[in-house]
Amino acid sequence: MVDRDKCISCTACVSICPVGAISMVEGKSHIDENVCIKCGTCESICPVGAIKIKRD
């Protein structure tokens, strides 16, 4: 999940996602839950803590 209020549109998460599950939508990161493998790479790279991965 991306906190759109915290997201600074840096695109670091888009670049690092190993499965291409993250795109920019209206200038903010968006994670496609159907593609995401919940590896946590984006969560760890986000400089402002805007991403929290929901693990089942």
And the tokens for 55? 């693990």
Using only the alpha carbons of the chain, give its radius of gyration: 10
Q: What are phi and psi of 29, to 5 degrees?
A: -65, 145
Beta bridge partners of 25: 28
CATH of residue 56: 3.30.70.20
Q: What's residue 6's pLDDT?
A: 98
Q: What's residue 36's pLDDT?
A: 96
| Number of structural domains the chain divides into | 1
Would you call 12 helix, strand, or coil by DSSP?
helix
Q: What is the extent of the structural domain holding 48?
A: 1-56
User: How many other C-beta atoms lie within 10 A of the C-beta of residue 21?
Assistant: 19
Q: What's residue 54's pLDDT?
A: 83
Question: 1-55, pLDDT tens digit by residue?
Answer: 999 999 999 999 999 999 999 999 999 999 999 999 999 999 999 999 999 998 7
